[in-house]
Amino acid sequence: MRPFTYTQPETIEEALTASVTNTDSKYLGGGTNLVDLMKEDVERPSQIIEVADLDFNTITSNETGGITLGAMLSNSETANHPDIRKNYPLLSMAMLSAATAQIRNMATNGGNLLQRTRCPYFFEVSMPCNKREPGSGCGALEGANSKHAIFGWSESCVATHPSDMCVALAALEATVTLQKPGGTSRTIEFTDFHRLPGDQPEKDNTILPGEIITAIDLPNPKFQTNYHYLKIRERSSYAFALISVAAGLQISGGKITNIGLAMGGVAHKPWKLIKAEAFLTGKMPTKANFEQAAELALKGAKTLSENEYKVIMGIKAIVRALEQALAKTA
């Protein structure tokens, strides 16, 4: 690992200032992703600014009747918080499907949003990778790409975003609050937070240099009864999703009145299934409708040499997730 300096600011202002003074800095949350990548020589910050101990580590009600998740709160504390379990069980379920208990204890909510792709070319510095080294080429495009994207990719990058938490946040229509050096903060829609690779795959998201994530806001409690997070993976735990689906349904009078549907493992960002959501809204929650919605959702998927299976797996996963959500009772 390269030598680096380490600072532990007391306040967010100090942290922001430290990042302005040394633009080669990285904020440190739980370090479960950053430190791994530093060991692999992929991330090479000359300064580490610890933010995990800053004050943004609570869960509070917000003005809109929803809830604010502190960005520095651990994934475990968030997922197991009674308010989250009761009011946003879809988020809890998705978060608890990720990694291991030990990693979730360390991982922070902010860090989870910013974790980087698991593409093996990205991790191996001797390989070409536009995301790690712009202009070096995309090793996966014509290489080993069975775990790569089927939506929204570009010739320059076919990577997927690995987070489970983010798939649920997309389905729940969360927002992200960021604070910039100078003290101003801004809030953006969750679906606008991550981006597609285009010709700038080095940018995973729309965060600006030096910005700190301070909070994630959830709207009114949602899908408290009919929800499911389905994660298909290569072993029963401690593996990233090949495909995942976050599904939330609100049913009234035998019809779907509100729906949240998003997929993981298929794109450079959590993939909100807007067409399928629109199709199902107002319809009866039948298997036939679920199947039609799933077909619609996977329409337009563009597969790579090794990942054709994701289309059929995606369809089955959407139908199953919706069925499981429907089957749940209060």
Ligand X SMILES: Cc1cc2nc3c(=O)[nH]c(=O)nc-3n(C[C@H](O)[C@H](O)[C@H](O)COP(=O)(O)OP(=O)(O)OC[C@H]3O[C@@H](n4cnc5c(N)ncnc54)[C@H](O)[C@@H]3O)c2cc1C
Residues 230-269 that bind ligand X (CB under 6 A): 240
Cβ-based nearer residue to ligand X, 109 or 279 = 109
Residues 280-319 that bind ligand X (CB under 6 A): none
Q: How many residues bind another protein (CB under 8 A)?
A: 34
Does residue 28 contact residue 18 with C-beta atoms inside 8 Å? Answer: no
Out of 20, 208, 274, 312, which residue is the one contacting another protein (CB under 8 A)?
A: 312
Out of 29, 30, 45, 201, which residue is the one contacting ligand SF4 (CB under 6 A)?
A: 201
Shortest Å distance, C-beta 211 to ligand SF4: 22
Q: Which residue, among 47, 45, 46, 50, has the nearest Cα to 12 in the 3D structure?
A: 50
Binding mask 76-105 for ligand X (x = CB under 6 A): ----------------------xx---x--
Backbone torsions φ then ψ of 66, nearest 5 degrees: -100, -150
Count of C-beta atoms within a 10 Å radius of residue 287? 11
Position of tokens 């879809």?
90
Does residue 146 contact residue 163 with C-beta atoms inside 8 Å? Answer: no
Residues 89-148 that bind ligand SF4 (CB under 6 A): 117, 119, 121-122, 129-131, 138-140
Cβ-based nearer residue to ligand SF4, 255 or 302 = 302
Out of 238, 257, 282, 284, which residue is the one contacting another protein (CB under 8 A)?
A: 238
Rounded to whole angstroms, how far apart are CA atoms 307 and 329?
35
Position of tokens 């995973």?
204
Rounded to whole angstroms, how far apart are CA atoms 31 and 18?
18
Binding mask 282-301 for another protein (x = CB under 8 A): --------------------
Rounded to whole angstroms, how far apart are CA atoms 193 and 260?
17
Select from ligand X, another protein, ligand SF4, none the partner in contact with residue 34, using the beta carbon and a kind-dependent cut-off of 5 to 8 Å: ligand X
Shortest Å distance, C-beta 210 to another protein: 27
Q: Which amino acid is at 76?
A: S
Q: Which amino acid is at 54?
A: L
Q: Is 126 in the site for another protein (CB under 8 A)?
A: yes
Please calculate the CA angle 300-306-307 and round it to the nearest 5 degrees: 40
| DSSP letters spanning 269-325 | S-EE-HHHHHHHTTS---HHHHHHHHHHHHTT----TT-THHHHHHHHHHHHHHHHH
Q: Is 170 in the site for ligand X (CB under 6 A)?
A: no
Q: Is 329 in the site for another protein (CB under 8 A)?
A: no
Q: Is 212 in the site for ligand SF4 (CB under 6 A)?
A: no
Positions of E strands within the chain? 5-7, 25-28, 47-50, 59-61, 67-70, 175-179, 185-189, 212-218, 226-232, 243-252, 255-264, 271-272
Q: Is 106 in the site for ligand X (CB under 6 A)?
A: yes
Q: Is 2 in the site for another protein (CB under 8 A)?
A: yes
Residues that bind ligand X (CB under 6 A): 26-34, 36, 51, 71, 75, 98-99, 103, 106-108, 110-112, 114-115, 162-165, 212-213, 240
Residues that bind another protein (CB under 8 A): 1-3, 41, 118, 120-121, 123-124, 126-127, 139, 142-144, 146, 230, 232-240, 242, 309, 312-313, 316-317, 319-320
Residues that bind ligand SF4 (CB under 6 A): 117, 119, 121-122, 129-131, 138-140, 157-159, 201
